Structure 1
């Protein structure tokens, strides 16, 4: 049995294991078959629960073990807060699980994608004597809170104006909102992840939202 099982599947398996001979007739409708089907219901339930455990081993599909995943990952944390839907909790748990370290743009975009955000990341390389002759020279520093910030330390993160997460009709509950949106989670997680790396914690993140 490759997929989910029924009591008929295990009832047939148990009948196939019976001894042979005149004392063990195979005609349908015997009381013995009802007993084997009843036993098969227990085996089928155990079989299907084992398949459920495979789903629960991944936070993206976990429901029953989702609270255990959240506890192991330290959720909710300073960025996530209390998620409104099961699907949102699954996304946040998966994003926290894969946020194991990295300082490449691919790593940061992957963490954002796990949260449900499609982002772009751009940097402002400093002009050097090896730059192309048509490359612009460094403009005036960006001033943030009265502090001058060289552009080579500025990272632009682009995202859609609104990222809308729809209700998961399978895992979601009847009391959950049909849609949730907002970018506060994205900004908090990105700032946290950049601060965690020695090679990126000095960078200033600037967020821009639009449909382009």
Structure 2
């Protein structure tokens, strides 16, 4: 393949310039080299559209998407940062329980959601929970229980809780994306 110097020389009018003249040759060499450099760099520019392949642009994408967000844990691995960006790419928004389950799945959580249906005489059965008023706006997110994290001498540091349960990242995701009027209860089953 010809370099840009040769292509530029072919564009010169044959009568006006001698492409081998000293000043013209130097100009074509410099301009051709710059065009060669720009063409070589264009792959990196196109790579910026795929931050999971070209990581040098990852901080820019994280800034655009507001990552790491409030639901991120500190000191994330590169793979976790890329996965979180991929979730942000795929997330389109919604307020249904199906969308909330899909979003949790994108973040790596398998959940189910139970709604509390108000008790209505004649429509509800014996044994149905008596849920009225504020319970109309509550729902329960069910997720497999993680083993509690326990303070261990030699492995834990001063200031850590003696025992913790739950998943603060999942709870943050649910509470950030649930409808504003709703109350989300997370149950570890």
Alignment of 1:77-88 (within 5 A): 77-88=69-80
User: 3-state DSSP class of the match of 2:141?
Assistant: strand
Task: From 148, 151, 158, give the equivalent of 2:142.
Answer: 158
TM-score, normalised relative to structure 1: 0.51
Contact between 1:109 and 1:119, CA under 8 Å: does it hold in 2? yes
Aligned residues: 137
Question: Can you list the C-alpha shifts for 1:46-105, whole angstroms capped at 9, x where unaligned?
Answer: 59x839945x53455552221111011111222225342011111222223334320112
Contact between 1:123 and 1:155, CA under 8 Å: does it hold in 2? yes
The answer for unaligned runs of 5 or more in structure 2 is 3-35, 148-165
Contact between 2:145 and 2:188, CA under 8 Å: does it hold in 1? yes
User: Shift in Å at residue 161 of structure 1?
Assistant: 2.3
For 2:97 and 2:105, locate their aligned partners in 1 and report how far apart those are by CA, in whole Å: 12
For 2:79 and 2:105, locate their aligned partners in 1 and report how far apart those are by CA, in whole Å: 14
Alignment of 1:25-104 (within 5 A): 46=40, 50=43, 53=46, 57-58=49-50, 63-104=55-96
Task: From 111, 120, 127, give the equivalent of 1:119.
Answer: 111
Instruction: Indicate how the Cα distance of structure 1 residues 103 and 53 shifts in structure 2: closer, same or farther if over 3 A, else same.
Output: same
When the two chains are superposed, the root-mean-square deviation of aligned CA atoms in Å is: 3.5
User: 3-state DSSP class of the match of 1:65?
Assistant: helix
More divergent stretch after superposition (89-98 vs 103-112)? 89-98
For 1:120 and 1:52, locate their aligned partners in 2 and report how far apart those are by CA, in whole Å: 42
User: Whose radius of gyration is greater, 1 or 2?
Assistant: 2
For 1:97 and 1:135, locate their aligned partners in 2 and report how far apart those are by CA, in whole Å: 46
Give the aligned partner of residue 186 of structure 2. Answer: 207
User: Shift in Å at residue 112 of structure 1?
Assistant: 1.3
Instruction: Indicate how the Cα distance of structure 1 residues 57 and 135 shifts in structure 2: closer, same or farther if over 3 A, else same.
Output: farther
Give the aligned partner of residue 171 of structure 1. Answer: none
Instruction: Indicate how the Cα distance of structure 1 residues 51 and 76 shifts in structure 2: closer, same or farther if over 3 A, else same.
Output: closer
For 1:91 and 1:130, locate their aligned partners in 2 and report how far apart those are by CA, in whole Å: 49
The answer for unaligned runs of 5 or more in structure 1 is 1-12, 15-41, 142-148, 164-181, 195-199
Higher relative helix content:
2
Give the aligned partner of residue 130 of structure 2. Answer: 139
